[in-house]
Structure 1
């Protein structure tokens, strides 16, 4: 196998980077997105918490009302989000990899609940629309801000790892995609590359590790 150069559009943890290095890839990495937690105040006592990302959980973990919130069960998008919640003492009733899969569960199983929805500034409309259609009472809390961090990459790479649509847009602000293979964490991220490239591989699970695994398997 020739020397393969990989660009990750977010800084990897050391064990994640090690997976690529052990596969004899060279690795460049840069954070194309900056995440900032935002403080919030609970307006009405919920009986169900809704999270769509680890960033939402991380912000809630900084809240003064954390211990109180832990008494309320949660539902979430993503296996890593579920793990982070459970590792910090939350009870997770339902978890799906995609918001579109969680939406009908919320409509059918939790339509009598008062939901606290913890979101970022770039959140999609899938779950709010689903809850509105089912006349579900919910309060939305903006708990983190996602801002682009444009960076020019001068090195030539064979593949790019993308972890969010906003990461795609931030990368494209200063860089082009030519012949590189793009490995995406999910279908929503892949959709952000529509019309730009067809060299796309989508992870089986929405985890950084699975994106890396797909990349390694592709070049084996």
Structure 2
């Protein structure tokens, strides 16, 4: 059973989802927690269109989409957001670098006005895919955390007197800055990209929507109603954004696209008959 920021994320039995309620029911809450039985679910292949249709707010490759199709879902996907480069300058002087996304890494590498050797630079990051990308380019990754909060707490404990450069997007969450400021640690933020919302209105409703960032939630919700829809989220931060629009939320076991897709298969969206 996983616990983070006071929220408990046990895994639901298949074909179940938590009832609406308090913040502690944010994701895969156990059926016994509230004492009330869950709503009786309908199958993924239910003939009513909404109940078997899924929308991904990120384009899915064929291998990622196939398990959903095989389970009887109709799948639609699009890119709810895109990123654009932001010109930046930095002397690169710090004890360590921080990246919390692959976008940050890619735009840092593309946007350097005076490319310098990055091999061996001490780096901390969020996510295994970010770690892999960094290592492919020669960075020395000291630690990869599941989320920014976990990373910040580790750095407070183990590197409080060090200096950091955080290469990030303009729409970043304030998590790192807040924790560093609270502990009077040296953090300089360097914006290397911006996130652009690509809002799109859908004439139909969906049984479930897959979200991979708070910006993706915002983009979708600008033109569509999420109120009676199940939101499958890549992580707790994205889930908190979705919580503004729906109480039906499931958080992936790992912060990856594959795990978010698997969350649908393990915990199919449930509907009352």
Q: Give structure 1 stretches of 5+ with no counterpart.
A: none
**Alignment partners' CA distance in 1, 2:116 and 2:211:** 34
Partner of 1:68 in structure 2?
Answer: 117
Number of residue pairs the alignment of both structures matches: 220
Q: Give structure 2 stretches of 5+ with no counterpart.
A: 1-42, 47-51
Is the counterpart of residue 128 in structure 1 residue 177 in structure 2?
Answer: yes
Partner of 1:85 in structure 2?
Answer: 134
Partner of 1:103 in structure 2?
Answer: 152
Partner of 1:13 in structure 2?
Answer: 61
Partner of 2:205 in structure 1?
Answer: 156
RMSD: 1.9
Please state which structure has a larger fraction of its residues in helix.
1
Aligned 8 A contact 1:186 1:202 in 2? yes
Aligned 8 A contact 1:46 1:72 in 2? no
Aligned 8 A contact 2:118 2:138 in 1? no
Aligned counterparts, 1:136-215, within 5 A: 136-215=185-264
**Alignment partners' CA distance in 2, 1:133 and 1:189:** 24
Q: Counterpart of 1:124 in 2: which secondary structure?
A: coil
1:20: how far off? 2.1
**Alignment partners' CA distance in 1, 2:115 and 2:233:** 33
1:114: how far off? 2.0
1:210: how far off? 0.4
Is the counterpart of residue 29 in structure 1 residue 77 in structure 2?
Answer: yes
Once the two structures are superposed, what CA deviation does each residue of 1:121-143 show, in whole Å capped at 9, x if it has no partner? 11111111222233322321101
Q: Counterpart of 1:70 in 2: which secondary structure?
A: coil
> Radius of gyration: which is bigger?
2
1:99: how far off? 1.1
Aligned 8 A contact 2:111 2:192 in 1? no
